[in-house]
Chain A
Amino acid sequence: MSALTIVERDTSAGRGAVGTSHDRIDGPIKLSGQALYVGDLEIPGMLYAKVFRSPIAHGRITLLDVSAAEAMEGVVAVLVGSDLTDIDPFYGHAIRDRPIVALDRVRFIGEPIAAVAAKTMAQAEAAAKQIVVEFDELQVAANLDAALAVDAPIIHDGQTAAGFAHGLGKMPDREGNICYSYALNTGDMSAASTLNEIVIDHEYIFPAVYQYSMETHAVIAEHTGTEIRLWANCQHPFLVQSEIATLFNLPISSVRINVQFLGGGFGSKSYTKMEPLAAALARKAKKPVRVVNEVSEAMVTSRRHNMKCRMVTTAKSTGELVSRDVKIWLDTGAYADNGPRVTATAGDAAAGPYRWQATQVRAHCVYTNTGPSGSYRAFGATHLQWVGESQIDEVARCAGLDPLEMRRRNLLRRGEVVRVKGKPLDADLIGDIEKVAAALGWGEERKPNRGRGISVGLLAAGAHPVSMATVRMDAAAGVSVMVGSTEMGQGTRTVMAQIAAQVLTVPMSKISVPGTDTSFTPYDRSTGASRSTTVAGKAVERAALVVRASLFETAGQVFGISDISKLFLENETVTDGKQSMTFSQIITKRFGFAGGELVGHGEVKPESGSGSYEEGPVFWEVCIAGAEVEVDRNTGVVTIVRTSSVADVGRAINPAQVERQDEGATLQGIGNAMFEEMLYSSDGDLMNDSLLEYRIPTMLDMPESMKCIIVENEDGPGPFGSKGCGEGALAAIPAAIVNALGDIGIDMYELPLTPERVWKRIQQIQQTK
């Protein structure tokens, strides 16, 4: 392998796979119903699990009696906390604060207390009803205000332990219910305050939101004593593998995870969710066990953080920005999950991509007695962009500036510092926002009760840049791409195939991209943070280049050419312009018969430093969108008339998929801005845990027009100059909608923009006039 010469040179002269809107390679198998999801799988001897969950939000368990359940027909095992005394039962990639099942205390309604494994689902459900539990109830803090109050109950006492993928420096000491804090300071706030001529100061509320992927969390686990096998729908199989290995004291390689297709993720399946419980139950039952969440259970397994924010933006009377002071409180629920990372990303997004004299950001991650909050598409940025951007528009109105002109004057330029020590700005934001405004008809006259808004922001993308890939070419020149990116509907398998097809000049029909099996698929950190095309895709490109180098090596020997830089690929052949050989002929020549294969391995690792969050991100994902809205002042109903968004992707490997990503993100952004809100009672009960009461956007909520503009400046760190997409529009759309309402005099400080909230605000504004 080391003798191979890898030539990094332009490969775009190939078949043009990159840049074409190739059909989804997983389309036919999904459309014909043949694609298998975890819930479809039957493992021989498999049992069915029912999780027994806490009916109260906070209390000490004084009695747990599962004897009646154990005696029920078909029941093989009932898992309880006392089964876990031989292991350290706490998990959590950021903070190890969560037991596999409740040990002596419950912290939210829906927390697993026990789990029944039985021969049928009906038997498991019947047995779970026989479990008896009694509590000493404790004071409940079901929201941020209650958890931050002076007399708040302390939800976690004891020592704070960092998780294996904490990645955010030293863990701070816990302060009340605050489990993590993130701070940023630039410039001199007191010096800047002498320049203030315009001061905008409000408090904002962002709701708890559910990711609502079609498929809920599902896992089948088997524990043989020396090995654990999982068939799971996790987004990050390798991080789950590592966490399960630690929990059950096994080598990482003794935990084998198989991930095929996910019916959507949006962050709900990032990091470890139901896998530890399934593995522990399988360990006790000594049989494979399947755990599938119902929607109401999935909603208390993961959600988006609700947030309270106080922001002060100051500027000179000319509209030149001076300072921004931000305080953020994010409700992470009863366990930290990905809360610390969400908090840091929110902190990073708070200042917005503007030139400031001084900024001060304090972001806090707070425990409450509600279901845990974790990742959700465009986390942090979605929370903050509407807050920051609505203040930019308020400044513009005070200064008498058009919002677009306001941004032209204040936005950062390429190469300027976004965050001290981090990557400088790697995009043309002003060029992008001009395009979004133009697509919205920015200068055109508005109809009555219609407003237009634009918004711009950045999202720290890429996560930790570690990915590997293997590309194998068989003797008939078929190619398989082994890469750990999870196919969850975003089209990653198609993109990976296109990258390999481009490098190797092989038709897409000859490329397969199987699902992940950690026994065979090389390591990929995670599928999220818009990183797959950029980071894992780069590993695929590099692996394909190794295969190409092997083809050159053998062809060079056959052609009698020592300078292989004279060779190139064309339609599954190697040629020097005069003589050529097909890939099959080369492989047959290399191995002496029509067999063997060429295997290439590619790797992406931090180019310098450790790849830590502080040094990152891999790239800044551009979050830019515009919206035109119409308000019915009689009812408060807001209709989204049209939207535009920019997908600043460096190079679009598959333009149609880029557009679909932006459209999906736009619709999800409309959901976050307009409808979605998990409602908790003061005693911690989630009151709208079904589609009857939890409103998500439907096709009927689609704007008349959704325009996605693809910007290709070939300035990304990914293959062919690409960089990721798919989250930016989600962060940008709520901000654009809020600004469009501000445009017609209805400033909003709380999401979602329910008709009642908008109507009440209109009444309030009329009364103060």
Chain B
Amino acid sequence: MLVPPFEMHVAKSVEDAISLRSKFGDDASFYCGGTELLLVMKLGLTDLAHLIDIKHVDELRSISIDDSGIQIGAAVTYREIENNPLLLADRPEFVSMISGIANLRVRSVGTLGGNLAFADPSSDPATFLLAVNGELEIGSADGKRRIVPMAGFHTGPYQPDMRDNEMIVSIRMPRNPSGGVVVHERMKLKERPNITVAVYASAAQGVVTQARVAIGSIGLIPVRFEEVDESLVGAELANLDGHLKRAATLASDNILVFDDANGSVEYKRHLVDYFVQKVARKAIETILENSNK
């Protein structure tokens, strides 16, 4: 099917983009990498008369790393993240996760902001950001900016928590805190991942002090469960197996999954159990070995 005809507007600034969006309302969408949007348009799932090109807005294209943390413009491509030496030095596991997304052609044009705004249930970045307490800077029509946590930003599949005429301006995450470890792993059987698990852990004196387990690409949205995170606190090498088992059981019991072409509920719960144990073990063993040094 052909993409129906549409008009393209090139925005010069965030404010310009938002005012164009306000002008055309639901008949318009922001357009950047187009790796999701054009597919949706080609499939006839949406019929947009106006696209607002935000690829040339400087503010959306920058990456900065300073004492306040890491800030990545919403229109920065995956490829630009992969090729950024500062990010690689500070957050190698983040860069490595980005390198595993789709393929080179998609990464060359696809953007981090686009991924989070589209809110596909199979999002590696959303799951990762959930584990590292990532945040989003949202711009709105009144010129104000607000900062929202990644946790809660996706309220359902393809449902980002944004009001009309808002847009993601940047994505923020803390710099790699000393002593903290993040491990990210996923299993991909088709075009998109079937499960993504990212675990952050920190420790002191050989004991886990904090853990965050994010599970994505298997339910409707990436999720974290407080009781799973808490069940890992207090773990040490000697009693690790028990903590991991408990965390995995809690995660697989709590996760909301459905039978579909990607697998049965039974298999999906098993994958959650297996990957939570596997990824959390890797994160905790690494952090405990580091804290014993």
Contact = CB atoms under 8 A, between A and B. Distances in A.
Contacts of B278: 634
Contacts of B192: 692
Given A125-B2, A635-B274, A679-B261, A692 B267 contact: no
A754 B189 contact: yes
A149 to B, nearest CB: 24
Interface in A661-698: 675, 679, 687-688, 691-693, 695
A759 B268 CA distance: 11
Interface residues of B, number: 17
A294 B189 contact: no
A692 B194 CA distance: 12
A754 B261 CA distance: 11
Contacts of A199: none
Contacts of A121: 2
A759 B273 CA distance: 14
Contact of B189 (A125, A688, A755, A760): A755
Interface string B166-192: 000000000000000000000101111
A695 B189 contact: yes
A637 interface: yes
B1 to A, nearest CB: 7
Chain A interface size, as a band, is 20 to 34
A561 interface: no
A149 B190 CA distance: 34
B109 interface: no
Contacts of A43: none
Interface in A718-769: 754-756, 759-760
A693 B261 contact: yes
A122 B4 CA distance: 8
Interface string A682-717: 000001100111010000000000000000000000
B37 interface: no
A759 B261 contact: no
A693 B192 CA distance: 9
A710 B182 CA distance: 50
- Give the one of A693, A755, A756 with max B CB within 10 A: A756
B187 A691 contact: no
A185 B213 CA distance: 62
A688 B261 contact: yes
Given A693-B261, A695-B189, A695-B190, A122 B271 contact: no
A691 B106 CA distance: 15
A760 B271 CA distance: 12
Contacts of A294: 1
Contacts of B5: 122
B64 interface: no
Interface in B243-293: 261, 263-264, 267, 270-271, 274, 278
B1 A692 contact: no
A547 B1 CA distance: 50
B261 A634 contact: no
A586 to B, nearest CB: 55
Interface string B1-21: 110110000000000000000
Nearest to A50: B1
Contacts of B1: 125, 294
Contacts of B274: 634-635
Contacts, number: 37
Contacts of B267: 755-756, 759-760
Contacts of A759: 267, 270
Contacts of A693: 190-191, 261
Contacts of A634: 274, 278
B99 to A, nearest CB: 14
A760 B265 CA distance: 12
Nearest to A679: B261
B190 A635 contact: no
Nearest to A756: B267
Nearest to A759: B267
B121 to A, nearest CB: 13
A196 B96 CA distance: 59
B191 A692 contact: yes
B2 A692 contact: no
Nearest to A754: B189
A691 B103 CA distance: 14
B95 to A, nearest CB: 20
Contacts of A125: 1-2
Nearest to B268: A756
A122 B267 CA distance: 44
A658 to B, nearest CB: 30
Contacts of A756: 263-264, 267
B288 to A, nearest CB: 23
A412 to B, nearest CB: 40
Nearest to A692: B191
Contacts of B191: 691-693, 695
Contact of A635 (B2, B4, B187): B187
A760 B264 CA distance: 11
Contacts of B2: 121-122, 125
Which of A634, A679, A754: most chain B Cβ within 10 A? A634
A341 B2 CA distance: 37
Nearest to A687: B261
Contacts of A691: 191
Interface in B212-254: none
Given A122-B5, A125-B2, A692 B270 contact: no
A60 B97 CA distance: 53
Nearest to B195: A635
Interface string A288-311: 000000100000000000000000
A694 B263 CA distance: 14
A635 B4 CA distance: 42
Contacts of A754: 189
A760 B263 CA distance: 11
Contacts of A695: 189-191
A121 B5 CA distance: 12
Nearest to B260: A687
B104 to A, nearest CB: 12
Interface in A106-161: 121-122, 125
A637 B2 CA distance: 37
A294 B44 CA distance: 13
Contact of B271 (A635, A679, A688): A635
A692 B192 CA distance: 8
> Counting chain B CB atoms within 10 Å of each CB, which of A635, A695, A760 scores highest?
A635
A405 to B, nearest CB: 37
B261 A637 contact: no
Interface string A247-267: 000000000000000000000
Contacts of A760: 267
Contacts of B4: 122
A125 to B, nearest CB: 6
Contacts of B263: 756
A122 B5 CA distance: 9
A693 B261 CA distance: 8
Contacts of B189: 637, 675, 695, 754-755
Interface string A608-646: 000000000000000000000000001101000000000
Nearest to A294: B1
Contacts of A755: 189, 267
A750 B2 CA distance: 38
B280 to A, nearest CB: 15
A637 B190 CA distance: 12
15 contacts: A122-B4, A122-B5, A125-B2, A294-B1, A634-B274, A634-B278, A679-B261, A692-B190, A693-B190, A693-B191, A695-B189, A755-B189, A755-B267, A756-B264, A760-B267
Given A637-B187, A675-B189, A756-B263, 8 more contacts: A125-B1, A635-B271, A692-B190, A692-B191, A693-B190, A695-B189, A756-B264, A759-B267
* 4 tightest A-B CB contacts, nearest first: A756-B267, A695-B190, A692-B191, A756-B263
Interface of A: 121-122, 125, 294, 634-635, 637, 675, 679, 687-688, 691-693, 695, 754-756, 759-760
